[in-house]
Chain A
């Protein structure tokens, strides 16, 4: 049956059809839906791991145990999972092992624009890249055969436009996979120097064999059009180029992007008049071509930054532009905002009021960096709020003690905040860490996590006791507060800032978008009492506006969290 599917859905379907047994992932846009869809297949064990390193190691263990295994992550997730990846390259696999990594050119929802193809080159594993949903499914299945045939982990490289666009996919049946028997094999799986040295030789030989395979493999294909222009490309860039240039060019579309073929590329290059390499982000294919002695038009001509598109390519190559109607009026921007009723809002209001330095992290609460709250000073990577605060306090030698905090979400704290907290306790800075516990992984669209008591299927699961955890690592001062109670939140934060010991504050209230959360009726403004002082506007709630000179509350958005009531000094909101 043919269906419209997201690229991510199609990967999940591919996993199902390939007989994959074990999937362990950590969410991250644009990769998250793969594992969410997998969780609907009862034939596959699926789980949310605490972070990408754990997910990859679970999948490696499952592969050694004979299963076909998988993990998915966003591009920066592979930084976290890089350690197991580099050595799994040496051990190779038992059951096939595939890692999906989704890049985000254009940074639709990411903190950087890194190109994960470098990881395949550096760790010497095979990497394949589909360009639409149909290929997402087929390449996923073929990746398992590749993994088992060449005894290598395989990285499936996706990007936002492939993961999050839908196209037509044919569904097939699942072919169950036999996990066989387990046999101990220290030479293969114990990577200490004596066993790793011969393994490195194996890795180089494997790369050589993969190179030969790249010349003939079904992942790579040529589409002939005019030979005036030849384009070497892969992934979504192929789709853009096809639309832009049509049959005015010929295309060598690479699906196996590490290692790349030599003869295939040279042959193609010899048959076209002018050779272009069209690839988003870094010059990976181009560099390979240059090593082969070719001189394609590449990054001197095309941009290094952001997404490509059909218009961009057509204009660059042919100088042709689409005409469009021009609208000259001013259009105010519409940035994402914290939702009405978001439990993070109260915390950031208090932090702004206190004027403290806020070492920030990644999640919905990163929106605490934008106006009107604008409370956050830093955001680097997951977990960096906690460890970074310790470093900041060391640098300022006590100057900021009592004037700086870290803020980190519950999922992010479990991901990599806890190690930073251990460091604070162990290496003793008087640091104040706030865990914004909204009982869910919010930013990526509501995934359960080890701190909220539910597993990926929504079944009850063991929950981390954050208070006990903090005590166990040596933090004696642990406080829990409801962030929708502004006075109490302010009091607790002040006390912990003043205390002469490190502390952990847990602001606890579930995300207002969770189905399990009961809302209060919307509040209303008494226009007679409203003095237009705009105090209620300071919390940046999307439900409150002043278009009528008096405060006005949008009752389709308001969930009655009561924050604005607490802000109003004239008793005008109820």
Chain B
């Protein structure tokens, strides 16, 4: 059976590193893996999505509405934008951080209130955390992605050592300590 994970966020938030870590974890466990991302225009502060699919044999690299087992959202509005991609009863791990998109900045639209509650009301299993604060606590605001990996790691069948190894493969040695700390803080969330 193929399992599907989506990583969504805002261009510049480090979603690609997160997908690389997950990809390495899955590869080390012997799965067939496909990941898909869109480069180009979307990197300029736009909404970004990465699909990760794994199983015995994966065909299509994309995930569509109603097909994701897990969504990892780096930003609240992006969580709302993609929640319909979740399977009924699927899980969403979301950072409660808010980044205003241009229509909100220019006053053409309002940043929606109560996103977490509204997503929960859809019947999804929501884990909402302030990953930005935890990342800062670990030592850098840029580790939001690794905090979220820590949170996600707990609900997978793969051991902590497998995740740490993937983390070491994906981040430069210079910043591994901050990242390990960020991962541990994420993993400690109940």
> Do residues B33 and A166 form an inter-chain contact, with CB atoms below 8 A?
yes
Nearest CB in chain B: distance from A272 CB, A? 20
A330 to B81, CA, bound (A): 9
Residues of A within 8 A of B10 (CB): 334
Q: Is B23 an interface residue (CB 8 A)?
A: yes
Q: Is A364 an interface residue (CB 8 A)?
A: yes
Most A CB within 10 A of own CB, among B10, B58, B59, B78: B59
> Do residues A337 and B102 form an inter-chain contact, with CB atoms below 8 A?
yes
Q: Is A4 an interface residue (CB 8 A)?
A: yes
Interface residues of B in 88-114 (CB under 8 A from A): 88, 90, 100-112
Q: Is B155 an interface residue (CB 8 A)?
A: no
Q: Is A175 an interface residue (CB 8 A)?
A: no
Q: Is A114 an interface residue (CB 8 A)?
A: no
> Do residues B112 and A332 form an inter-chain contact, with CB atoms below 8 A?
yes
Q: A29-B39, A132-B34, A372-B106 are in contact. Are A240 and B60 (CB under 8 A)?
A: yes
Q: A166-B36, A167-B58 are in contact. Are A325 and B41 (CB under 8 A)?
A: no
> Do residues B33 and A334 form an inter-chain contact, with CB atoms below 8 A?
no
Contact with A along B28-59 (1 / 0, CB 8 A): 00001111111111111111000100000011
> Do residues A166 and B34 form an inter-chain contact, with CB atoms below 8 A?
yes
A165 to B60, CA, bound (A): 10
Q: Is A545 an interface residue (CB 8 A)?
A: yes
Contact with B along A151-181 (1 / 0, CB 8 A): 0000000001100111110000000000000
> Do residues A332 and B118 form an inter-chain contact, with CB atoms below 8 A?
no
Name B114's closest neighbour in chain A (CB-CB).
Answer: A329
> Do residues B88 and A323 form an inter-chain contact, with CB atoms below 8 A?
yes
> Do residues B124 and A339 form an inter-chain contact, with CB atoms below 8 A?
no
A132 to B59, CA, bound (A): 9
Q: Is A546 an interface residue (CB 8 A)?
A: yes
> Do residues A445 and B64 form an inter-chain contact, with CB atoms below 8 A?
no
> Do residues B106 and A371 form an inter-chain contact, with CB atoms below 8 A?
yes
SS class of chain B's interface: helix, strand, loop or mixed?
Answer: mixed
When the two chains form the complex, which single residue of B32, B36, B44, B118 contacts A339, counting CB atoms closer than 8 Å?
A: B44
Q: Is B174 an interface residue (CB 8 A)?
A: no
Q: Is A310 an interface residue (CB 8 A)?
A: yes
Q: Is B27 an interface residue (CB 8 A)?
A: yes
Q: A161-B62, A327-B118 are in contact. Are A335 and B101 (CB under 8 A)?
A: yes
Name B41's closest neighbour in chain A (CB-CB).
Answer: A109
> Do residues B45 and A542 form an inter-chain contact, with CB atoms below 8 A?
yes
Q: Is B61 an interface residue (CB 8 A)?
A: yes
> Do residues A332 and B104 form an inter-chain contact, with CB atoms below 8 A?
yes
Residues of A within 8 A of B41 (CB): 29, 108-109, 336, 443
Contact with B along A294-332 (1 / 0, CB 8 A): 000000000000000111000000000111111101111
Residues of A within 8 A of B110 (CB): 332
When the two chains form the complex, which single residue of B80, B104, B106, B108 contacts A327, counting CB atoms closer than 8 Å?
A: B80
Residues of B within 8 A of A542 (CB): 45, 102, 105
A2 to B32, CA, bound (A): 11
- Residues of A in contact, count (CB < 8 Å): 60
Q: Is B83 an interface residue (CB 8 A)?
A: yes
Q: Is B87 an interface residue (CB 8 A)?
A: yes
- Residues of B in contact, count (CB < 8 Å): 62
A240 to B61, CA, bound (A): 8
Residues of A within 8 A of B130 (CB): none
When the two chains form the complex, which single residue of A326, A332, A339 contacts B84, counting CB atoms closer than 8 Å?
A: A326
> Do residues B112 and A329 form an inter-chain contact, with CB atoms below 8 A?
yes
When the two chains form the complex, which single residue of A323, A327, A336 contacts B119, counting CB atoms closer than 8 Å?
A: A327
SS class of chain A's interface: helix, strand, loop or mixed?
Answer: loop
> Do residues B84 and A325 form an inter-chain contact, with CB atoms below 8 A?
yes
Q: Is B123 an interface residue (CB 8 A)?
A: yes
Most A CB within 10 A of own CB, among B42, B100, B123: B100
> Do residues A336 and B42 form an inter-chain contact, with CB atoms below 8 A?
yes
Residues of A within 8 A of B36 (CB): 161, 164-166
Residues of A within 8 A of B77 (CB): 331-332, 334
A141 to B175, CA, bound (A): 38
Q: Is A188 an interface residue (CB 8 A)?
A: no
Most A CB within 10 A of own CB, among B40, B106, B141: B40
Q: A332-B109, A336-B41, A542-B105 are in contact. Are A240 and B66 (CB under 8 A)?
A: no
A354 to B59, CA, bound (A): 53
Q: A166-B34, A331-B81, A334-B77 are in contact. Are A161 and B61 (CB under 8 A)?
A: yes
A462 to B38, CA, bound (A): 33
Residues of A within 8 A of B33 (CB): 4, 166-168
Residues of A within 8 A of B46 (CB): 334-337
Q: Is B122 an interface residue (CB 8 A)?
A: yes
Name A2's closest neighbour in chain B (CB-CB).
Answer: B27
A476 to B171, CA, bound (A): 52
Nearest CB in chain B: distance from A6 CB, A? 9
Q: A4-B27, A168-B27, A327-B118 are in contact. Are A336 and B11 (CB under 8 A)?
A: yes
Q: A165-B35, A332-B109, A364-B44 are in contact. Are A324 and B100 (CB under 8 A)?
A: no
> Do residues A29 and B62 form an inter-chain contact, with CB atoms below 8 A?
no
Residues of B within 8 A of A109 (CB): 38-42
Q: Is A202 an interface residue (CB 8 A)?
A: no
> Do residues A324 and B59 form an inter-chain contact, with CB atoms below 8 A?
no
A188 to B122, CA, bound (A): 68
Interface residues of A in 518-566 (CB under 8 A from B): 537, 540, 542, 544-547, 556
Residues of A within 8 A of B100 (CB): 545, 547
> Do residues A332 and B88 form an inter-chain contact, with CB atoms below 8 A?
no
Contact with A along B1-12 (1 / 0, CB 8 A): 000000000110
Q: Is A444 an interface residue (CB 8 A)?
A: yes
Name B38's closest neighbour in chain A (CB-CB).
Answer: A108
Nearest CB in chain B: distance from A280 CB, A? 13
The 10 closest A-B pairs by CB, nearest first: A109-B40, A324-B66, A322-B66, A336-B46, A165-B61, A336-B44, A165-B36, A334-B101, A332-B109, A29-B40
Can you list 15 A-B pairs with a CB-CB distance of less than 8 A?
Answer: A4-B35, A108-B41, A165-B61, A166-B33, A240-B59, A242-B60, A243-B60, A325-B86, A327-B84, A331-B80, A336-B43, A336-B45, A367-B44, A371-B108, A545-B104
Q: Which residues does B use to contact A, with CB under 8 Å? A: 10-11, 23-24, 27, 32-47, 51, 58-62, 64-67, 77-78, 80-81, 83-88, 90, 100-112, 115, 118-119, 122-124, 141
Q: Which residues does A use to contact B, with CB under 8 Å? A: 2-4, 29-30, 32-33, 108-109, 132, 160-161, 164-168, 236, 239-240, 242-244, 309-311, 321-327, 329-339, 364, 367, 370-372, 443-445, 537, 540, 542, 544-547, 556
Extra 7 A-B pairs, beta carbons < 8 Å, given A29-B39, A108-B40, A243-B60 = A166-B35, A167-B32, A242-B60, A322-B64, A332-B101, A336-B46, A367-B44
